[in-house]
Structure 1
C-alpha cells in the first residue's frame, strides 16, 4: 500500500523525521474494521478513515504547515510530501512572513488542483460539511465514474464531491490556523475531523466477516 512504494520510503527517510501516535482510547477517533495480519490489503479510497489517520507536517518548532486526513495511496502520499517540502522551503526563505506564506501556498495549491476562488473562499455550510465527513462507498475502493488523482471536479458525482470537500477542508484548516502548535491540534482535533464517529476499513478481508463488522458498526455495537 502507501509505504510499499520505494519512492515514498526514500523521501520519508531522506527529508522527514517521522513519528506516529496511538489513537487507542481517543474519543475523537473513529472505529476500524478488523483484519488479520496475513490478510491481503484491500482496496481503499482516498480520504477514508479521516478520524483515524491524519498525516501532519510540522516545523522543527512543532508548528503545523500542512495536514492531510484519511488514507493516501503511495502516489497521493508522495505528492503531498512534495507539496510539504515546497512549503517548508518557502518558510525558511521568508520566516517573517511565514504565516502569510502558508495561507498563500495553500490557496495556490487549491487553485492548481482545480478549485476556483469562489469555492476556496465560500464559508462552510451544512452541505459541504456533510460531503466532507460522510461515509462514501469509495472509502472501500468502490469507484464510481472517472478518477482524477483522487480529486475530481465540480461536475463529478456525489462520491467524487466528497473527495473534493475533504481536500478543501484539509487545506482550509491550515489556512485558518497557519502554524498552529502541534499540541493545540492534539488537544482538539475535532475542528479538522469532526465530532461524529466514523469507521475505517477496506474491502479486502473475507466478505462475510466484513459485512458482519459493518452491520455491527452501523448498529452502534
Structure 2
C-alpha cells in the first residue's frame, strides 16, 4: 500500500509537469477549459482513482478459469457476478482511504487545487462508486473471455493499454479532437476516470455525466450476465 501510494505520487509529479508545460505553451494559459488549478486537480485525482477503480491487473477470475477452480465458484449458492462485484466494492472502499486520499492530499497541500462546490460532493461520491462498477463490468467481460480463449493475457494487455488513453487518464478527453470525444462518450471508458473528475472539478454537464455512467453500469452488467450464462455451457469437469 505504501509503495503503491509513493509510486502514484512520483508519477503524479511527472504527469503534472508535462501537462503544466503544455499549458505554458498556450497563449491563454488554458487548454480546452483547463487552467492550472483544474489541471493539477485532474492529475492528482486521476492518480488516486487509478487504483480505486482498477484500470488493469485484475486477472483473478481469469486465473481461476484457467486452473479450473472456477467450478467451485459456480457450485456455490450465489450469483458469481454479483458476488465479485460486492467484493470489488469492498476493495474500493479500502482503496478510497489508502490510495485515493493520499495523492489528492499531496496535490491539495502543495499546488493550486480546485475543490468541488458543497452540492457536488455527494454527486462525486455517487459518480466514484459508479466508476468502480463500470470498471468492474468491463473487467468482468475481459476475464470471462478466458472461457473461450483459455489464455486471455493478450486481451488483458490490450485492455490495459487502451483503457489508459480512452478513459481520460493519460490526458483529459477534452484535449482530443471533437470527433474523437464524440465517439468516446458513446463508450463506457470515460465513465471510469474522466466522468468522476468532471463531476469533481465542475467540468461539463453534471447529470449527463452521471447518466452516462448509470447507463453503462446497467449495460455492462447485463452483458456480463449473458456472457457468463453462455460461458458456463463450455465448462467441463473431469472426475468428481
Would you call these one fold, judging by a TM-score over 0.5? Answer: no
Query: Which protein, 1 or 2, shows the higher relative CO under an 8 Å CA cutoff with sep ≥ 6?
Result: 1
**Structure with more of its chain in strand, by fraction:** 1
